[in-house]
Structure 1
Amino acid sequence: MVRELKEVEGIIFKRQKYHDADLLAKIITEKNGIFTMLAHGALKPKSKLGAALLNFSYGTYVVYFSGHGLSTLRTYKNVEQFDGLYDDLIKNAYASFILDLVDHAFMEYQNLGKYYDLTKFALQKIASGTDPEMITQIVQMQLLAAFGVEPELRHCVICGQDQGEFDYSIKNGGILCKKHFYTDPDRMHLKPKEVAVLRTIFLLPFERLGSIKINSSTKKATRKAIDRIYQDTIDINLKTKKFLDELKLMD
C-alpha cells in the first residue's frame, strides 16, 4: 500500500490503547474526513505523542495517510486543547455527543465540508461558556442534511406559505402552515415560538447563532422535538446521548 506523508489539521475525539505502548486515536479533519491514526509508542513514558492525542486536542498532525483503514501518526506541531472541555463534566458530555454524532454522519475519510467548521465552532463556543444545550441543538438541526434527512423549514411543505403560524410534521418532512395542520393529526403540536427556534437554528448560518438565547421551557420543548426527529427519521442510539440524558435527570 502506498502511503502519502501529509499534514492534516484536526481534532482528536477518541483514543484507545493498542498493544502494549501504542495508541489508536480518531481524528476529525478539515479536508480528509474522519479516520483513525496509529501512534507507535505513544504510551511509553518518554513519548510526547500521548499528550498530543488527548481528547479535544486540536492542531496539525503529520500522518502517513492511507485513504482507507489505519493511517500512522509520525509527529505533530502546534497542538492545543479546547480549554475547559476535558475537566468539566457537563461541557465534556455535550462535546463528546456532538463529535459522536458527526462521526456517525460520515463514512471514513469522507470530506466533511462545512461540517468541520460547524464542529469546531461548536466546541469553541462550549469551551468559552456558551450554553452547551443550545449549541448542541444547533448542531443537531444543521447536521440532519448530512444524515440524508433534510427537512423543509423555509415554508409549508404543502402550499409554500412562509409566513404565519407553523407546526412540525415528521410525516411530511418539514413544517405545515396552520391551514394544513389537518393533514397530519400526529404533527408535533409545538408552540409558534418553538417552531420559530427550530427554523432559526436550521436555516441561519451557524456563525450567526452563537449568542442565541431562549428560555428554559422553550429550550426543553425544542430538545424534545429534535430528539423525536432523530428517533423517527434516523434512529441511532449513541452512548454519549444516553449519558447526556442521564445528566439532565441529575439537574
Structure 2
Amino acid sequence: MTSFLTHRRLVHDGGLPVHLRHAALRTCLARFAPYGLRATYHHLTLSARMPRRLEADPPALVRAVEELHEARVLRLAQSERYAARRRAEKGAGRRAVTGPPAWWEASWWDSPNDAWLHDPTCHPPLTLPEYVRRQGALLDGAALAGCPACGDERPAALRSTGHGFVEACRACARVLRPCPCGRRHRVDPVAGAGWAGVRRRDHMTDAGTPNPHWPGPAAASSLLGRRADGRLRLCEPGR
C-alpha cells in the first residue's frame, strides 16, 4: 500500500493530468481525514477554493493537500507524545488510561460526530490544523470553552427525535447531549446535499466560490430534527 507522502507528491506533479492528481488527493484522504473522508473533502473544496471544473484551477489541489498534510504532521506529533506518555504510565504501574482517550482512535460508531458521516456538509468551521490542535489540547487536559469539536459557544440547538430532544452544536452538528432515551439517532443528509453532489463539487463554481444556487450552504448551517414521516426538519430551540 502506497503512503500518504507518495500521493502528496503526485498531487504536486504538474505534469500529470488533473484527474490523476485529484485521484491522488482522494487517496491521501483515505489515509487521513479528521472529519471523515466525505466531510473532510467537502471542507477542502471550500478552504482550498476548489472549482467544479478542476482544470480551471489545478493549484487548488495543492492547496488542499498541503492543508491536509499540515494537519497530519500535527496529529503524528500528538500520537508520538501520547505514546510516550502511555509508556511512562505503564512503567509506573498505571496501565488503565487515566485521561481522555486518543481522539484519532475513537470509533465513528455511536460517535457524537455522527452527523459528519451522514451529511458531508456538516463539519467544524475550522481549518484542519486548527481542529487537530484543538483536539490535541483537549487530549492534554486543557479546559476549552464551547463545543469540544469546534469551540462554538452559542446555546445548543435542539433536534427532535419524536420522543425527546438531542442537543447539538449549531456550527458543526456535534451531539453535545444525547436523547434521554439513550438510543442512537442518525442524522441524514438534507435533500440535494448528499455525497454525490459534493463529489462532483456541485456546491462550487468554476471560480472556486460557493455556488449560491446549491443547497449545500443552507444544509451546512442547519441542525435538523426528524419529522413523524421520517423526513428531516429544522428544529429551533425552545419548541
Q: Please give the TM-score of this superposition, normalised by the length of structure 1.
A: 0.28
> Going by fraction, where is strand more abundant, 1 or 2?
1
Higher RCO (CA 8 Å, separation ≥ 6 residues):
2
TM-score, normalised relative to structure 2: 0.29
Bigger-Rg structure (1/2): 1
